[in-house]
Structure 1
Amino acid sequence: MANVEVVMIKTEEIDFDPENPRFYRLNKSQSEDAVIEEMLDDEGAQDLMLSIGQKGYFPGEPLLVIKEQSGRYTVIEGNRRLAAVKLLNGQVLPPTRRKTSIATIITEAIEKPPFELPCLVYKTRKEILRYLGYRHITGIKEWDSLSKAKYLAQLRDEFYNGVEQQKQLKALAKDIGSKPGYVGQLLTGLAIYLRAEDSKFFGLNLEPKDIEFTYITTALGYKKIHEWLGLQGSTDIEIAGLVEENLKFAYAWMFIKDQQGQTILGETRKLDELAAVVASDDARTVLMETGNLAEAYLYTEGPQASLENALDSAIKNVKVVWSMILKISPLTTSHQALAEKLFEDVKSIRNVIRDKLED
């Protein structure tokens, strides 16, 4: 970055950065109130307030800002520190649900909060962008994956607009000290996220905060999933062949929660099961009808093999029941009722199979 000197700037003249990648979940409607809430919820601004209130502001790490045509400043690096100071000195108000805890921090503060902060002033955002990559993607203050993807998109548009895609990925990977495949997967995930966001998440009952971006990027690593979505690969940034109907199903399975707060997918480690399911017509139909991934997964080998696997699994469970009966005492009438229900169900299954074989 260019050589600049540290200058003291009044905090009332410094604004938060509406283009900061960490604020992207605010869904393009950033306001000062929304930024403060985001900082308090996810960025540890409250902990920083405690530290500043007890030990004072550490001036050794200046804010990185740009001067706007209006004469005001926008902080590109240091939004969390600015939020903490503005909350302490009363220039911004906390959200209602945080008023009590913030008031306590302010009351118990030993050091007076500053009303001006050390800053390095740059002419353009472009002068700071590359530094942010090393600091927040490979550095000590790592961003979440969606913030990383948004930052990479900014970096691409600012420095590599018009450059052939593979060269873009290599250059971006070099900028952040990573690999082209990782960069491409993040940018592809972002393109998919934006498509869903622009479609208002396909009418599903979802908000940006409900989306776990790492689920999207991890899913792209499964060949069966990205092919089902109509993509050429995990780094198909243009997503020209994206099948939106399938993406809608993917979002529903990964992010819609039931009354117990559970999704159909559950955890990312089950993405291998989802990959097998979407590649099978029978299994996919079962998942759409039942919303049960475990049941749908039984159908991935075809209906005949799936039935055989289910029967085999039932036999193993019956063996477990036998083992438990020998160890548990006393048995109850409830146990007897369940055993009789099991007997009737098994007998019905046997009769249906026998009748079909005789037809």
Structure 2
Amino acid sequence: MLDPLNPRLGRGNTGPAVKQSTILSLMRDWTLDELAVSFVESGFWPHEALIVVREKLYGKDALVVIEGNRRLAALKFLKRAADGEKIDRRWREIVEETPPPTDLFEHVPYIEVDSRKDVEAFLGFRHVTGIKEWKPAEKAEYIAKLIESSKLTYAQVMRKIGSKTPTVRQNYISYRLLLQMEDQEKISIEHVEDKFSVLFLSLRTDGVQHYLDIDIQADPEEARKPVPADKLKELANFALWLFGDDKRPPIVRDSRQVDQFGRVLLSTKAVEYLERSPRPSFDVAFQLAGGDEPEIVRLIEEAADNVEAALSRAHRYAKSKKLRKAAQRLGEDVVQLASLFAGLREELCVGEDD
């Protein structure tokens, strides 16, 4: 049986009652045809054996695949095509080009384990930190299951899946935050779930932690509801600004702006602007937060470095009209810049003739 608890199906599509036909339909777009081509050409390699567990499913004992669901689904679609059932043209073409081996559907290699817990570490390493990675939300859900179902600590999960403890903690808190957002009517959860990696990244910033009053160091019990009850209005604002809804796009247009968004949330003036404006602009909020100050400082320091480098050789060209014109331009800019700061012009001109 295909696994109805497979995290890759998505949170809204998993559960012991989900039908096999539903699971197969959900997996239709998982590039299964690539596996099928390999099967008809080379058979089912023993070293890619399915990992299964014997458990109750739909009221009876069944062998449920907990690793290798794509392989099993590919076999099922391939079998339908070989039996002449009405199916997508791509599948019919595969069996017409190369008829499957006669025993392909009769002898499927598998390894039976005693329980799902026996392979938690293997699945975690393979799909959370390994070469067959799940999507960000799927990884976080799996980590949450290890913590809540198996009663593991962050450190124990870290040792099982080969990750780092802070990463495990942030994944868990991000997932619990997603569930908390799902309970809020004003939040368009599908927009959040589609960009789970952005949610994950945002929790690294001091601004998001401060605005939502989230303790990023919280243990699992304390992190069950990351945002306090008195911050749920802020949570709705946060979701709208970062992910948008059916009517309004997010103000954060690129994941590279997430750190800047965190800085915006640290500014009282910028937050007040965001909260009062029906259509706020990220650029305006960022400027109100003084977000471009580091960039301006960098530009001025870079200009100063260039001038210092030029001064070491400029005396050789004291008669150059081009150099004089460039120096005049620089001087005018420096005078204008100095006038922005009270007393700076006077400090620079101390000991100099007017």
- TM-score under structure 2 length normalisation: 0.68
| Aligned counterpart for 1:244 among listed residues 232, 252, 260 | 232
Aligned twin of 1:223:
206
Which residue pairs with 1:6 in the alignment?
Answer: none
Distance in 2 separating the partners of 1:255 and 1:263 = 5
Question: What secondary structure, in the 3-state scheme, does the structure 1 residue paired with 2:108 have?
Answer: strand
- Alpha-carbon spacing, 1:292–1:108, altered in 2? closer, same or farther (3 Å): farther
In the TM superposition, what whole-angstrom CA distance separates every residue of 1:196-238 from its partner, at most 9, and x where no partner exists?
A: 2244xx3444427852111111100001111211212265623
Aligned partner letter, 2:114:
K
1:105 alignment partner, one of 94, 98, 110: 94
For 1:197 and 1:170, the matched residues in 2 are separated by: 27
Distance in 1 (CA, whole Å) between partners of 2:44 and 2:11 is: 29
CA shift digits 1:255-305 (9 cap, x unpaired): 23679x964211111012211222223322433422321122121149xx9
How far apart in 2 are the matches of 1:92 and 1:253?
51
CA distance in 2, matches of 1:144, 1:133: 13
The CA deviation string for residues 99-128 of structure 1, in whole angstroms up to 9 with x for no partner, is 343443344343245244111112221112
Q: Output the CA distance in 2 between the equivalents of 1:184 and 1:92.
A: 47
Q: Does 1:68 align with 2:58?
A: no
Change (3 A) 1:25 1:111: same
* 1:48 Cα deviation from its structure 2 partner: 1.4
TM-superposed deviation, 1:74: 0.9
The CA distance in 1 between the partners of 2:66 and 2:209, in whole Å, is 35
Deviating beyond 6 angstroms after TM superposition, the runs of 4 or more aligned structure 1 residues are none
* Of 245-254 and 62-71, the range deviating more from structure 2: 245-254
Amino acid at match of 1:178: S
Tell me if the contact between 1:184 and 1:234 (Cα under 8 Å) persists in the aligned partners: yes
2:281 pairs with 1:292? yes
- How many residues are matched? 278
Greater Rg over alpha carbons, structure:
2
Partner Cα separation in structure 1 for residue 14 and residue 181 of structure 2 = 14
The C-alpha deviation readout for 1:151-199, integer Å capped at 9, x for no partner, is 22222234435xxxxxx11121111122111110000001011112244
Does the 8 Å CA contact 1:55/1:111 hold for their aligned counterparts?
no
Q: Is the 8 A contact 2:32 2:70 kept in 1?
A: yes
Of residues 66, 73, 78, the one that matches 1:88 is 78
Pick closer, same or farther for the CA change 1:194–1:31 going to 2, 3 Å: farther
Change (3 A) 1:255 1:35: farther
Structure 2 letter corresponding to 1:80: R
Give the structure 2 partner of residue 58 of structure 1. Answer: 45
The Cα shift of 1:84 comes to: 0.6
Q: Is the 8 A contact 2:53 2:116 kept in 1?
A: yes
The 3-state SS of whatever aligns with 1:140 is coil
Deviates most, 217-226 or 107-116: 107-116
Which of 86, 108, 129 lines up with 1:138 in the alignment? 129
Task: Give the % identical residues.
Answer: 27
Identify the residue that residue 184 of structure 1 maps to in structure 2.
169
Distance 1:208 1:115 in 2: 43
Change (3 A) 1:283 1:208: closer
Structure 1 residue 85 displacement after superposition: 0.6
How well do the aligned residues superpose, as a CA RMSD in angstroms? 3.3
Report the Cα distance in structure 2 between the residues aligned to 1:254 and 1:219, rounded to whole angstroms: 9
Give the CA deviation at 1:33. Answer: 4.4
Q: Are 2:173 and 2:216, in contact at CA under 8 Å, matched by a contact in 1? A: no
For the 8 Å contact 2:170–2:216, the answer to whether it is kept is no
**Counterpart in 2 of 1:232?**
215
- TM-score normalized by the length of structure 1: 0.67
Q: Does 1:282 align with 2:269?
A: yes
- Quote the Cα distance in structure 2 between the aligned partners of 1:206 and 1:127: 33
CA contact (8 A) 2:51 2:112 kept: yes
* One-letter identity of the residue aligned with 2:27: M
Structure 1, unmatched stretches of 5+, are: 1-14, 162-167, 310-359
Q: Secondary structure at the match of 1:60?
A: helix
